[in-house]
Structure 1
């Protein structure tokens, strides 16, 4: 595969658009068109503009199809990708690939068009014609309702070169250019293909394509050079002119403090560019002079915020030494610069904006008088170009002409940005959204939430049922794999939500809350239908331990037709959830409801029984024994001096005594996991405690606790004492060594370095939350083999120990784990005992139209069951790779007879930007790993991708690479090529012939 894109001919592009729209109702994969209303039209540069938003100069304005997709979904202002004297192969050699990483804040290491400048010009002119006819043919708006804006760089000598000069002159007046004439003639020759476009419409397409330019300069470009470039383009070329300005104008100290305060302290940049770039004191008089020059000539002048913001590659984000930051982290800097310039020029300086604009802030930006606004990062995320429609809709406003920038409004936006949940960085790094398996060639659509759930709950199905108010049916789906809907609906660690595709929109669907919604509304009616299963299995099973793992094992064993006795050493079920986790986390009656489920299915429960011998159970006729005895052996933190209290001991006493403990006024909790957070929050609620400090040797970012737990501790007033390593407890003070973060290692993680500095933390009581251990001695006493760490040796697929018929599940297996992992182990043991799968999948497919209606629409948490409407239906349709590809190189196709939609990668449209890799739920990169269509055999030879190139479409004869072998296959011949791939190839040739070059 090559990163060189092959532009399509105008005829190919037009045929693709019209055929796809006619047969599939989409245009380059976009499902929902935006239709502009004339009453919202604005004016800029003396021309109409239907919406003040569009794609920034970047990956979305490089190829004609990119511009088409952007227009179809609502863009009307197009900042064309920057052209410069270095282009084509020379430029490509300087750009490392992959070059885009946009999974949270965005980084890139590319800067201008990868095409040759003449190619770029042709792409822009082809797009110009395509948008004109689409406007009329599909009734998307006025044929003159959009504008193209040229972006040029990076020095005057290059801009004056013959190549760039020809580009500028042609884009300003293209009537005599070969490409303009050929596109026009093609339309005239094929006018009979249109329903609404007439010959007169085609003849009326104006040839003065661009009358505005945005100047991009390299970092370090002297102010005199910037002014000369602007003067040249204004006075010699007559363009309305914007100059891109960098956030470096704010100064290093301001930028560094803003980033640190907002949680981007890991983003590394020095003061070099701030010193070397245009200085604010030079910028103001220069901009003043240029404003006056334009005013004299009747031209509009302004600044474009922002240009690139360079940062260092420290965590292997991209294969380069430096990269450019954009998106959510850039917005606070960009809008701050806009505020500063708006105040400086009393709102008279026009500002065009880019730099983290998205659905959540764009209305405020435009209402403040800053427009047009161009975006990139938000379009690089799932939903892709379709996100543009929502932005265009919220910007619909009548009679909104530019009268100046409201400085006070922009200042407010800048202040709000620094605390906005949409821009402040999460306390902890984002968990990986990836599944640990490779993307298949076929049927790759998958629900990441289900795959991330240790018990593979059918989440999208029960969300649909909750959405429909079918709570009893939802409970049936949930309890098929999960016997603890109230416990997991309240305190589950919800890895499913970490995997949710909606994380790339705004926040995940609140799956855990929806499970609780189903339980609260469907429990009573569902429980009345639950009856004990007939006893069909020989022997009987004993489960030791009534925590989540034991409850699950007993539930599945009994439901599977076996007699089951559950032995619990206390007077109630629930284990750690019941006896340790504080009541403010989960109420006892919620645990009672789950316990009642076990009784309903017929589990015999014996309370206040402590089992010491497995052999005694054998002697009583139990043929299978599941040990779910927990990890109750206290973890120990030894200080040089002084004693600590164990966290689980404290939590148990806190719960038993309802917080009426005597532990002093100042409490220190040592640890950074979820148990430490529970401990600290409980200590805050303990009688007489005034201050709770949580000590950890690293920072919050590196604590193992879930972010949700961390945030709740902060909200409860727990004081975090980061970068402290405890030494001893003396005279009511915990003496700690101060640590500091080291450099990033090869994995992108920062180590810690011990310093000589000492810190004292007031402490009447020190509680250590350092992890509990499994009961090694008990195992050994019962003949169970353990490893060198004292953990039982078991079969990973069955949880069976060296003792036949004896299994271990839950915390007892590997140490403290999550409730849902305990349920997973309990079921695994039960299935091993009975010898068959005890659950079934409930995969209810969502309707295509419902799924596509939600794609690209940002929408935050809803109240009650309406929250389920935010689910994107990934188990039915994924297509992340389709949506996030700027070039439309990943295509969704419908293969007759095959399930749902299949994805094919089109080689000649791909430049290996790598963006699809970030958002594929698999540990894969679709541009490398999906079945690929090649334009030619040569392209196929240059690639390692599995795929095909068409030799003879009439005979369905292709050259194929599969499993490392390359061979020719013609329909009807015997082949080792799977039938599914045969059908895929046939479908492409028959139904998607416009993909073929």
Structure 2
């Protein structure tokens, strides 16, 4: 595969655009058209329907990028930078992949990767296409948008023949071959259009661009920047903006801001701050250029901001340095805008880019700063469709002509940005959002929430049903796979929510909350209809242990007519959830409701009954035994001096005595997991305790506890003492060694080492929350083989132990796990005993139209829709790779006879930026792993991708590579080496998507 893009002829571009719109009502895969109103602004003496668009970057490199952006609301196009280095020479300098936009964004690209004449051709083709779209589809006025060229990086390069020709051609294009070609093609094919006429073609202006933005590399001297601006004003007579770097703020400001906002892991030195344009040089330069522009009758301003360079420390991208943008750049960029606006009393014109998105664009433009261009938000799921929502927001808000910047409003925005949840880094590193599976060539759509759930709960189904108020049906869907809706709806670790695609919009759908909502609203109705299932066979199963895994195993088996008896040594079922997890986390009533479900099914429950011998159970006629014993053997941490208390022992006593314990005034909890958080919060509620300290050898960011658990502990007043390793307890003080974090590894976790320094923490009681251990002694006493860690051997598929008919489930398998993992184990065990699946699948629901209506639509804080309105129903439509590709190189194909759309990758449109890899829910990169369409056999030979090249369109002959083998075939004929689904896909491309070829 090559990272070189092939520019489409204007004829193909227009045919593609028009046919796709006619057949599918989409344009280059975008679904959200924006039609501008009558209100317009004026910029550079020209009309502008809305002051937003794509920044110079991945979204303004090819004509189809610009077309997709216009269709979805953009009207100001900052074209990707051109410079004297281009084409093959530049491509050899830009490492690929070059974009990482999973959270804050990084890139290591700079200017257009095309040859400069090709770039000019793309921009002129787009110029014509936008005029057609405006009139043909009623999207706005044909003079309602503007192009702005971006040039760099030094005066000599800008004066070169190559760049000079580019500038002059963009100023006046009528004599260029590409302008004449586009114009003639439209005249020759005017019958293709219903609204767009030959007169409209004649009226397309040839003076494409009258403004330029100067892009300079870091370290460019101030006199060089000023000389470029002088040249563009006096020699080229162009309205000119200068891109400014956040380095103007100074190293100390940038470092403190990033640290305070949680980006302390971001590494950058003071080199660029010293080497770049200095603030004291910039201000007088800007004043001179303002005066010169007035003399020339042109506009001058600054573009905030250019790039902010940071070091590559975790192999994020294949370079030594990368450029940061998006959510973390916004507080720096807007602070620079505020500082300059104050310096110039609001009179300096500012164009803006640097973390602008739906959440802040209204305030930016409301303060008098426009045009605003965006990149990072368009690189995330929803892609170009996000532009529509921003355009609609601004149309509703209104945009005033530039009459100065509102300095106070801008300063307030800059201060707010440092605390805004949309820009502050989350307290914890992002969870892994990919599955372990490789993306399949066909039928790749799946809901990552459901794949991330250990029991693959039918989440999108019950979310949708709950949103329609059909709570009984929603709960019935939940109970298919999950017999503990109250417990999991309250305390589930919700790995599903970490995988949710909505995280890339604002935050996860509250999946756990909707489960609890359905349980609370429908439990009585659903439970009243549950009846005991008659025993239908000789199978008789004993479940030893009445925690979540044991309850779930009993439920699945009893539901299928198996006679089940649960033996529990405590007075009530519920295990750790009942006896250890504090009541402020989950009520006993909620636990009782889940337990009542197995009782309604006819399960026999024997409490206060401890089982010590499996032989006795066999003697009682039990044909199978499920050991759901939990991991109750206390873990420990030995101090050099002093005694500690086990966390589970403390939590049990806390619950039994309702917090009436004697711990002293100061309690220290050692640990960083969810149990440690429960322990610390319970200690805060214990009689007589004044201070609770949580000691951990790393920082909060690297604690294994869920972020919400950390937040709740902080809200309860727990004091976090980070980077401390306990040594000894003596005289009411816990002596610790101070630790320090080291280098980041590829996972983002920092190493830790001791400093030799000591620090004491007040401690009357020290509670240790470390992992509990499996009941090895029980296993061995009953003849079960164990490994060197004391865990019973088992078959991973059936969870059957070394003894036939003895199964294991829950924490007793390998140590403390989650409730839902215990339910997963119960499903496996029940299926093994039944000899058939213990759960059934739901048929996926949801129309593609409903899914597309939500794409790109972010939800603001003042909205409170039901979570179903936020659920993107990825089980019906994923298409993240389609959304996020700037070049539109991933295509959704409808294949006759296939219920799901299929994704192909178009090789000739891809530059291997890698953005689709970040957002594909599989452990894959679609640009490498999806079935690929090649323009010809040569391109195919340059690639290792599986895919095809069409050799004869009329005959349907293709050259196909699959699983390392290549074959030439007719797609309509059987071929044992190529599955029918792939042949049907290729046939659909040839017949229904011929504009791709």
**Structure-1-length-normalised TM-score:** 0.99
Distance 1:398 1:325 in 2: 31
Distance 1:941 1:10 in 2: 27
User: Which stretch of the first structure deviates more once superposed, 681-690 or 344-353?
Assistant: 681-690
**Hey, what does 1:266 align to over in structure 2?**
265
How far is 1:838 from its partner? 1.5
Q: 3-state DSSP class of the match of 1:844?
A: coil
How far is 1:67 from its partner? 0.2
How far is 1:415 from its partner? 0.8
Distance 1:574 1:861 in 2: 38
Distance 2:564 2:992 in 1: 57
Distance 2:796 2:824 in 1: 12
Distance 2:755 2:250 in 1: 31
Q: Is structure 2 residue 890 aligned with structure 1 residue 855? A: no
How far is 1:573 from its partner? 1.4
Cα gap change, 1:570 to 1:861, in 2 (>3 Å): farther
Cα gap change, 1:617 to 1:864, in 2 (>3 Å): farther
Q: List aligned pairs for 1:222-301, cutoff 5 A.
A: 222-301=221-300
Asked whether the 8 Å contact 1:312–1:322 carries over to 2, the reply is yes
Asked whether the 8 Å contact 2:117–2:166 carries over to 1, the reply is yes
Q: Is structure 2 residue 412 aligned with structure 1 residue 404? A: no
**Hey, what does 1:351 align to over in structure 2?**
350
Q: 3-state DSSP class of the match of 1:37?
A: coil
Distance 1:42 1:973 in 2: 58
Asked whether the 8 Å contact 1:315–1:749 carries over to 2, the reply is no
How far is 1:973 from its partner? 3.6
How far is 1:228 from its partner? 0.4
Distance 2:839 2:505 in 1: 33
Distance 1:631 1:217 in 2: 61
Q: 3-state DSSP class of the match of 1:753?
A: strand
**Hey, what does 2:117 align to over in structure 1?**
118
Unpaired runs of 5+ residues, structure 2, are none
Distance 1:745 1:582 in 2: 36
Distance 2:450 2:288 in 1: 60
Distance 2:236 2:119 in 1: 20
Asked whether the 8 Å contact 2:365–2:399 carries over to 1, the reply is no
Q: 3-state DSSP class of the match of 2:428?
A: coil
> After superposition, what is the alpha-carbon deviation per residue over 1:227-278, rounded to whole angstroms, capped at 9, x for unaligned?
0011100111111111000000011111011111111011100000000000
**Hey, what does 2:667 align to over in structure 1?**
667
**Hey, what does 1:698 align to over in structure 2?**
698
How far is 1:843 from its partner? 2.5
Asked whether the 8 Å contact 1:517–1:864 carries over to 2, the reply is no
How far is 1:534 from its partner? 2.3
**Hey, what does 1:213 align to over in structure 2?**
212
Distance 1:922 1:392 in 2: 32
Q: 3-state DSSP class of the match of 2:813?
A: helix
Q: List aligned pairs for 1:22-171, cutoff 5 A.
A: 22-39=22-39, 41-171=40-170
Distance 2:299 2:892 in 1: 43
Asked whether the 8 Å contact 1:316–1:747 carries over to 2, the reply is no
Distance 1:899 1:443 in 2: 9
Distance 1:797 1:497 in 2: 26
Q: 3-state DSSP class of the match of 1:48?
A: strand
> After superposition, what is the alpha-carbon deviation per residue over 1:323-372, rounded to whole angstroms, capped at 9, x for unaligned?
00000011011111011001011100011000000000110100000110
**Hey, what does 1:995 align to over in structure 2?**
996
How far is 1:633 from its partner? 0.6
Asked whether the 8 Å contact 1:739–1:752 carries over to 2, the reply is yes
Q: Is structure 2 residue 764 aligned with structure 1 residue 764? A: yes
> After superposition, what is the alpha-carbon deviation per residue over 1:454-507, rounded to whole angstroms, capped at 9, x for unaligned?
001000011111011111111111000000000000000000001100011110
Distance 1:972 1:31 in 2: 32
How far is 1:535 from its partner? 1.3
How far is 1:537 from its partner? 2.6
Cα gap change, 1:733 to 1:812, in 2 (>3 Å): same
How far is 1:539 from its partner? 2.6
Q: List aligned pairs for 1:465-544, cutoff 5 A.
A: 465-544=465-544
Distance 1:75 1:302 in 2: 21
Asked whether the 8 Å contact 1:222–1:277 carries over to 2, the reply is yes
Number of residue pairs matched?
995
**Hey, what does 2:455 align to over in structure 1?**
455
Q: List aligned pairs for 1:383-398, cutoff 5 A.
A: 383-396=382-395, 397-398=397-398
Distance 1:683 1:338 in 2: 48
Q: Is structure 2 residue 947 aligned with structure 1 residue 909? A: no
Q: Is structure 2 residue 835 aligned with structure 1 residue 841? A: no
**Hey, what does 1:751 align to over in structure 2?**
751
How far is 1:398 from its partner? 4.5
How far is 1:862 from its partner? 9.1
Distance 2:176 2:124 in 1: 10
Cα gap change, 1:763 to 1:398, in 2 (>3 Å): closer
Q: 3-state DSSP class of the match of 1:114?
A: coil
Distance 1:526 1:64 in 2: 56
**Hey, what does 2:321 align to over in structure 1?**
322
Q: 3-state DSSP class of the match of 1:395?
A: helix
Q: 3-state DSSP class of the match of 1:27?
A: coil
Q: Is structure 2 residue 719 aligned with structure 1 residue 712? A: no
> After superposition, what is the alpha-carbon deviation per residue over 1:632-667, rounded to whole angstroms, capped at 9, x for unaligned?
111011000001111011111111111121111111
How far is 1:804 from its partner? 1.0
User: Which stretch of the first structure deviates more once superposed, 835-844 or 8-17?
Assistant: 835-844
**Hey, what does 1:418 align to over in structure 2?**
418
Distance 1:908 1:972 in 2: 25
How far is 1:974 from its partner? 3.6
Distance 2:550 2:865 in 1: 31
**Hey, what does 1:18 align to over in structure 2?**
18
Q: 3-state DSSP class of the match of 2:845?
A: coil
Asked whether the 8 Å contact 1:517–1:865 carries over to 2, the reply is no
Distance 2:591 2:565 in 1: 19
Asked whether the 8 Å contact 2:436–2:922 carries over to 1, the reply is yes
> After superposition, what is the alpha-carbon deviation per residue over 1:214-239, rounded to whole angstroms, capped at 9, x for unaligned?
00000000000000011100111111
Q: 3-state DSSP class of the match of 2:219?
A: coil
Asked whether the 8 Å contact 1:539–1:621 carries over to 2, the reply is no
**Hey, what does 2:979 align to over in structure 1?**
978
How far is 1:750 from its partner? 1.6
> After superposition, what is the alpha-carbon deviation per residue over 1:85-105, rounded to whole angstroms, capped at 9, x for unaligned?
000000000000000000000
Q: 3-state DSSP class of the match of 1:564?
A: strand
How far is 1:307 from its partner? 0.3
Unpaired runs of 5+ residues, structure 1, are none
> After superposition, what is the alpha-carbon deviation per residue over 1:903-927, rounded to whole angstroms, capped at 9, x for unaligned?
0110000000000000000000000
Distance 1:15 1:715 in 2: 59
Asked whether the 8 Å contact 1:947–1:961 carries over to 2, the reply is yes
Q: 3-state DSSP class of the match of 1:950?
A: strand
Q: 3-state DSSP class of the match of 1:793?
A: coil
Distance 1:467 1:631 in 2: 38
How far is 1:27 from its partner? 0.5
Asked whether the 8 Å contact 1:458–1:843 carries over to 2, the reply is no
**Hey, what does 2:561 align to over in structure 1?**
561
Q: 3-state DSSP class of the match of 2:565?
A: strand
Q: 3-state DSSP class of the match of 2:866?
A: helix
Cα gap change, 1:516 to 1:765, in 2 (>3 Å): same
How far is 1:831 from its partner? 1.2
Asked whether the 8 Å contact 1:363–1:395 carries over to 2, the reply is yes
Distance 1:332 1:240 in 2: 28
How far is 1:515 from its partner? 0.4
Q: 3-state DSSP class of the match of 1:814?
A: coil
User: Which stretch of the first structure deviates more once superposed, 434-443 or 522-531?
Assistant: 522-531
RMSD, matched Cα:
1.0
Distance 1:391 1:422 in 2: 16
Distance 1:237 1:303 in 2: 18
Q: Is structure 2 residue 175 aligned with structure 1 residue 176? A: yes
How far is 1:32 from its partner? 1.6
Distance 1:416 1:168 in 2: 40
Cα gap change, 1:756 to 1:164, in 2 (>3 Å): same
User: Which stretch of the first structure deviates more once superposed, 287-296 or 740-749?
Assistant: 740-749
How far is 1:747 from its partner? 4.8
How far is 1:745 from its partner? 3.4
